Structure 1
Amino acid sequence: MHPLHKCLLFHLLMYLGRSADGSEIINGKLAPENSMLYMASLQNSNGHHLCGGFLIREDFVLTAAHCDPGITHVVLGTHDLKSVNDDNKISIKDKYKHESYKNEGNGNDIMLLKLSKKVSLNGRVQTIPLPTSGIVMNKQDDCQVAGWGYIESGGRAVDDLRVVDVSIINLEVCKEQWPFDLPANVICAGGYGTDKGFCQGDSGGPLVCNGKAVGVVSFNNNFICNYPDKPNVYTDVSKYLTWIDDVLKLDE
């Protein structure tokens, strides 16, 4: 790689300020216990929360590719990470990172986790449907993002799942706010023109609109969560349905 390209890439990644240290929701509220039963906490061997994710089949969790380092198991069936027990923990058997992923700035920030066993769907654990191909998102859609962790820039992590309403931002408007070209296949929502959005590490959690997981939390602006700032960026799930289906079929 040309040294200039290396320099530009380094500064781009520093600007993105990507992190997988936990899920943080800004100006949100506690998620009701009977809601968002598809949410997964991705954790390391020490039981520390690293990223969010969401259950799309009894044995598969969808998350962000940049969440890969360190995760060993997922936690399902609880909104309170202080109440985790062995029944909530499921080890990860395989990781399927998108083959074109390099970093968040280049896009394709999506990964499937094959669980070591199928989970039972019940009053505590449910899957969430994915969008259809060609879905068009607009500002009027009812959208939310959820996660565990900081509730302000440089703040503290929380153990209870939090959720916040966010609005879809027109992609052209979003592109104008960022000083570099956004990757293809993304959705922008929250973090700009509002005081609500995600903070560092909400990584891998879902952008849920009209009951479907349409996006995967990818990056925000350089660890800054004192919104309004630059739009939050998500991987557009609808652009990866064929890839998702191909991975799921490998384990049928």
Structure 2
Amino acid sequence: MHPLHTFLLFHLLMYLGRSADGSEIINGELAPENSMLYMASVQNSKGHHLCGGFLIREDFVLTAAHCDPGITHVVLGTHDLKSVNDDNKISIKDTDIHKHESYEKVTTGNDIMLLKLSKKVSLNGRVQTIPLPTTGMNNQDACQVAGWGAIKTDGRAVDDLRVVDVSIINLDDCTKEWGRLPANVICAGGYGTDKGFCRGDSGGPLVCNGKAVGVVSFNYKGNCNYPNVSNVYTDVSMYLPWIDDVLNCSK
């Protein structure tokens, strides 16, 4: 083969290899600085990002139940986890971690948790709450998911918040793909597309029409290349009574 052809073929294969990794959350982009002001990074005592979350009241963050071990605080008010200071950190007591009482593991459902903050945060140009849905959602809704998770399978969490557009997938079709799913979930992204979430995005919101309709729960064996099945989210609309009970008991 001519040396020039060898050179071009090598670089083509390198390009395809990078594309197969899902290298740009997955195939997303940096979140605009003044967007998604409800996003929270759920962290441990070493300041390591564990999961995403989102502010639903001045003193409560909603996240996934499987994010529980090691939580000490959340970070609000920044998209860049390298620029965190004490003003961004709000501590959480062990007694203020409210995991859904029926949660056992992600594949059996009820993967939802509320974190009561040690103080109410001030809502301003850096921090805002996001509304929850009042009913179920329309399968035609255009949605987004965001987080600080890995941007490829087996990758590390990133410092800058990323966001990607995803489409809702019919639940019957999604169940056929998976074979079995827990109750009260939403499917979006993954199957039939190269966009979705990855490790470290757990607990973040699925946002449709300005409302947090889902909580990032699980994908297929941590595979972020989406070979065959959809991403799965906890359906927030099915847990509104539980959320109201926790909030009302903590005023």
What TM-score, normalized to structure 1?
0.88
Q: Relative to total residues, which structure has the larger helix share, 1 or 2?
A: 2
Shift of 1:228: 4.4
Correspondence for 1:131? 133
Residue in 2 that maps onto 1:59: 59
Distance 1:137 1:108 in 2: 21
8 Å CA contact 2:54, 2:130 repeated in 1: yes
Partner in structure 2 of residue 107 of structure 1: 109
Identity %: 82
Tell me which amino acid in the other structure corresponds to 2:134: T
Deviation, 1:202, is 1.1
Task: Give aligned pairs, total.
Answer: 226
Q: Which runs of at least 4 in structure 1 moved beyond 6 Å after TM superposition?
A: none
Return the alpha-carbon distance in structure 1 between the equivalents of residues 108 and 149 of structure 2.
26
2:34 equivalent in structure 1: 34
Amino acid at match of 2:245: D
In structure 2, the partner of 1:79 is 79
Alpha-carbon displacement from aligned partner over 1:34-69 (angstroms, at most 9, x marks no partner)? 100000000000000000000000000000000000
Partner of 1:199: helix, strand, or coil? coil
Query: Which sections of structure 1, spanning at least 5 residues, go unmatched?
Result: 1-23
1:218-237 to 2 correspondences below 5 Å:
218-237=217-236
Shift of 1:200: 1.8
Whole-Å separation in 1 of the counterparts to 2:106 and 2:149: 21
Q: Which amino acid aligns with 1:227?
A: Y
1:185-244 superposed Cα distances (whole Å, 9 cap, x missing partner): 000000110000001231100000000000000000001111243100000000000000
> What is the rounded CA distance, in whole Å, between the counterparts of 2:166 and 2:250 in structure 1?
35
Assess if the C-alpha contact under 8 Å between 1:66 and 1:103 holds in 2: yes
In structure 1, C-alpha distance between the alignment counterparts of 2:145 and 2:79, rounded to whole Å: 14
For residues 45 and 111 of structure 1, the distance between their equivalents in structure 2, rounded to whole angstroms, comes to: 19
TM-superposed deviation, 1:154: 1.7
Letter of the aligned partner of 1:215 in structure 2? G
Which of 1 and 2 has greater Rg? Answer: 2
Note the C-alpha offset of 1:149. 2.6
Q: Helix, strand or coil: the match of 1:222?
A: coil
- What are the equivalent positions in structure 2 for 1:157-172 lying under 5 Å apart? 157-172=157-172
Whole-Å Cα distance in 2 between the matches of residues 229 and 124 of structure 1? 38
Distance 1:163 1:155 in 2: 17
Alpha-carbon distance between aligned partners in 2 of 1:227 and 1:34, rounded to the nearest angstrom: 30
TM-score (norm 2): 0.88
Taking only aligned residues, the RMSD between alpha carbons, in angstroms, comes to 1.1
Mapped partners of 1:229, 1:153: distance in 2: 15
CA contact (8 A) 1:194 1:228 kept: no
